[in-house]
Amino acid sequence: MKQIIVKDTDLSQAALEGMDEFLQVFIDAIREAVGGEPTAETMQELNADQMTLLCWDTLHQEVMDGGFIQLIHNGYGPFIFKNPFAKALNKMWHMRDLSKMLYEVHTLWLENREALEADCTDEEFMALFEQYPQFDDYDDMFIENEERWTDQIAHYVDENIEKFATIA
């Protein structure tokens, strides 16, 4: 396993700034340890909690920026839906509602994967949002629950810091 090190001063400052900043300290440290984006090789160097946090970060960034269609179109479908991410959220992190939603979106991904992952122009990409309105409710659900879910994740990380990093 890769050793992830977080400076106590960085963590203390981030904790004062809020839950997003607190989580970002861990996310940045994990990403730095794996050289940016995790690969099949570097994912093996992380534990399940570290990997789950990186999946959350990717999910969060993509869905908040452009919804599930963007996440899928940008090639993150396998990273989110083929990993045991939703299972970890439910079983280890006790986030059943987010996990349930991801299983539902996983089904939509499987049904529409080919069209959503295809190369296309910006105009064709924007048209995907009209062609696949079944993702709208999930985008809305994510946005409506994002703050609560981020808070739950921050609390989980705070209560299990040793699973995410060594504090130096």
Q: What is the mean pLDDT of residues 78-100?
A: 96
Which residue matches tokens 């908040």? 64
The pLDDT tens digits of the residues spanning 40-55 come to 788 889 999 999 999 9
pLDDT at position 154 is 97
Give yes or no for residue 22 having a pLDDT over 90. yes
Q: What is the mean pLDDT of residues 111-121?
A: 97
Contact indicator for 153, 56 with CB cutoff of 8 Å: yes
CATH of the domain at 86: 1.20.1420.60
pLDDT at position 156 is 98
Higher pLDDT, 57 or 2: 57
- Split into its structural domains, the chain has a count of 1
- DSSP 3-state helix, strand, coil percentages of the chain (rounded to 5)? 75, 0, 20
Q: What is the mean pLDDT of residues 12-38?
A: 93
Q: What H or E segment, with its residue span, contains residue 5?
A: strand 5-6
Nearest to 19 by CA among 136, 158, 167: 158
Give yes or no for residue 10 having a pLDDT over 80. yes
Give the integer Cα–Cα distance in Å for 159 and 49: 12
Give yes or no for residue 24 having a pLDDT over 80. yes
Give yes or no for residue 39 having a pLDDT over 80. no
Give the integer Cα–Cα distance in Å for 81 and 110: 9
Give the integer Cα–Cα distance in Å for 65 and 45: 29
Give yes or no for residue 90 having a pLDDT over 80. yes
Give the integer Cα–Cα distance in Å for 4 and 2: 6
Structural domain containing residue 9: 5-167
Split at pLDDT 50, 70, 90, the class of 5 is: very high
Split at pLDDT 50, 70, 90, the class of 137 is: very high
Contact indicator for 108, 134 with CB cutoff of 8 Å: yes
Split at pLDDT 50, 70, 90, the class of 35 is: confident
Task: Assign 18 to helix, strand or coil.
Answer: coil
pLDDT at position 80 is 96
Q: What is the pTM of this model?
A: 0.94
Give yes or no for residue 36 having a pLDDT over 90. no
